[in-house]
Structure 1
Amino acid sequence: MKNIKMINWILVAIVALYFFLSAYIDLAHTPQAVETVKKLGYSEYFLDILGIAKVLGIIALLTPKFNRLKEWAYAGFTFDAISAIWSNIASGYPTESIAAVIAIVLLMPSYIVFRKLQYEIHAESANKYSFMKRETKIRPLA
């Protein structure tokens, strides 16, 4: 289980770094980000919404415990990436979806390892307290 934890934290760090850079680009309103958002038909303030949501997702991923919140963060990042792909294709710029495809490629193994780790932790705690589940035999009265 130690290896799974280490792999999980490496993958989480990579995902967090990727989305941190993305959030920084969004919140800084870089000329390229503003141009892309306007080209896709969104308002410039949409960058603030995306940037703040990404920062909150990163915090959720890096905070120990709060596994339900991590599930929401993974879901949010996935929705963000799928929406970016869809928006680029619908606007006639399918080649600009590469960053979103990379995000999905990074998210998939990270989420799979996260779920495997949760399963291992659950299985370990079930074994740890298995002494509580002893069957009691009923003896006849006579």
Structure 2
Amino acid sequence: MTKRDKIIYWISTIWLALGMASTGIVQLLKMDKEVENFSHLGYPAYLLTIIGVWKILAVVAVLVPKFSLLKEWAYAGFFFAMSGAVMSHIAAGNPIQEIFPPLLLLVLTVISWYFRPADRKIVSVNPLHKPV
């Protein structure tokens, strides 16, 4: 991994972690504006607690060393949550300033996942593969 790749990884990962942690906390606290936003998108308020907890746990999983499989699940959760948020805002007819935050977190998720170091990836061993 090059120095450039490490810098890209850590910058995107830190921004992703800050974004997910802050929105997770806002969702756990069920702040009025967040409840209103969720309601506008057609989702029940109790979903805020579920998503908030998942986001906080996924941030921890992405930041701690080891646990490669858990990291994959966390990245997948971020991807599904943020792509779902983008699509929900589009379906609700929201303006771009409402779509941009989850879109940014979606892009940061993909960048962080793509540039993650080898020790944060799952090593796949195919027992059926025979060397030539």
Please classify the TM superposition score into its range, dividing by the shorter chain length: 0.7 to 0.9
The Cα shift of 1:12 comes to: 1.9
TM-score by length of 1: 0.75
Structure 1, residues 78-109: CA drift from partner, whole Å, max 9, x if none?
A: 10111001111222225321111111121222
Structure 2: state its 5+ residue gaps: 123-132
Q: Is the 8 A contact 2:24 2:51 kept in 1?
A: yes
Q: CA deviation at 1:7?
A: 4.4
Return structure 1 stretches of 4+ with deviation > 4 angstroms: 4-7
Query: What do you get for the CA RMSD once the two structures are aligned?
Result: 2.1
**CA deviation after TM superposition for structure 1 residue 49, in Å:** 0.6
Count of matched residue pairs: 119
| TM-score between both structures, scaled by the size of structure 2 | 0.80
Kindly indicate whether the alpha-carbon contact (under 8 Å) linking 2:59 and 2:74 is maintained by their aligned counterparts in 1: yes
Structure 2 partner of 1:32 = 33
Whether contact under 8 Å (1:27, 1:48) holds in the other structure is yes
Partners of 2:72 and 2:18 in 1: CA distance: 18
> Counterparts of 1:5-44 in structure 2 under 5 Å?
5=6, 7-44=8-45
Partner SS for 1:64: coil
Structure 1 counterpart SS, 2:115: helix
How is 1:1-142 mapped onto 2 (pairs within 5 angstroms)?
Answer: 1=1, 3=3, 4-5=5-6, 7-95=8-96, 96-114=98-116, 117-118=117-118
CA contact (8 A) 2:27 2:52 kept: yes
- Work out which structure has the larger RCO, using CA pairs closer than 8 Å and 6 or more positions apart in sequence: 2
Q: 1-side partners of 2:52 and 2:68: how far apart?
A: 22
1:98-124 Cα deviation digits (max 9, x unpaired)? 11111112122211111xx218x99xx
Determine the structure 2 residue equivalent to 1:130: none
TM-fit CA distance, 1:6: 5.2
Percentage identity across aligned positions? 37
Cα pair distance change 1:102/1:7, threshold 3 Å: closer
| Structure-1 residue corresponding to 2:126 | none
Letter matched to residue 84 of structure 1: A
**What is the rounded CA distance, in whole Å, between the counterparts of 2:82 and 2:118 in structure 1?**
24
